[in-house]
């Protein structure tokens, strides 16, 4: 995707985007986070309305931690930040695709992507090419 490609809902008024999103009973929506230029899936996180609003306005990956019960900005402690290039709602508006420029590892384990482990038939797993 080129830097001039569609930015999805980043081009729409925030209030209109928030009105369309179908948050679950807990007030959350899943967010699939993808590297904007390669298409690599980096992580899955959750957003509440405040996290989505912050992501749309500040263009920094902002999420809701279910375990900590609070909002967090990717990289606030690790320095592994996400600059948001695009945000797209799926057809039912109950999932969000966040396209980012990831600086440093995306996964809390220190791996570039949380999707580094590849399952194989027979139940074995290996790290992606390692």
Entry field: residues in the chain: 130
The pLDDT score that the predictor gives to residue 9 is: 79
The pLDDT score that the predictor gives to residue 20 is: 96
Spatial distance between the Cα atoms of 53 and 56, rounded to a whole number of angstroms: 5
Half-sphere exposure of 52 (CA within 13 A, CB side): 30
With a cut of 90, say whether residue 6 has pLDDT above it: no
User: What does the CA dihedral 33, 115, 76, 83 come to, rounded to 10 degrees?
Assistant: -30
Who contacts 33 (Cβ-Cβ below 8 Å, separation ≥6)? 41, 42, 43, 44, 45, 61, 82, 98, 100, 102, 106
How would residue 10 be classed by pLDDT, with cut points 50, 70 and 90? confident
Spatial distance between the Cα atoms of 14 and 102, rounded to a whole number of angstroms: 23
CATH superfamily of 9-127: Phosphoribosyl-AMP cyclohydrolase (3.10.20.810)
With a cut of 80, say whether residue 128 has pLDDT above it: no
What digits encode the pLDDT tens for the residues 16-66?
A: 999 999 999 999 999 999 999 999 999 999 999 999 999 999 999 999 999
């Amino acid at each position: 995707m080129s830097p001039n490609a569609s930015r999805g809902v980043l081009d729409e008024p925030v209030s209109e985007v928030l009105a369309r999103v179908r948050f679950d009973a807990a007030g959350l929506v899943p967010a699939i986070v993808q590297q904007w230029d390669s298409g690599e899936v980096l992580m899955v996180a959750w957003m509440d309305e405040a996290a989505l609003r912050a992501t749309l306005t500040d263009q920094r990956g902002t999420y809701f931690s279910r375990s900590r019960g609070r909002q967090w900005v990717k990289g606030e402690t690790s320095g592994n930040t996400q600059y948001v290039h695009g945000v797209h709602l799926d057809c039912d508006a109950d999932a969000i695709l966040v396209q980012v420029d990831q600086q440093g590892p995306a996964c809390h384990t220190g791996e570039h992507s949380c999707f580094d482990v590849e399952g194989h038939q027979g139940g074995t797993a290996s790290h992606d090419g390692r």
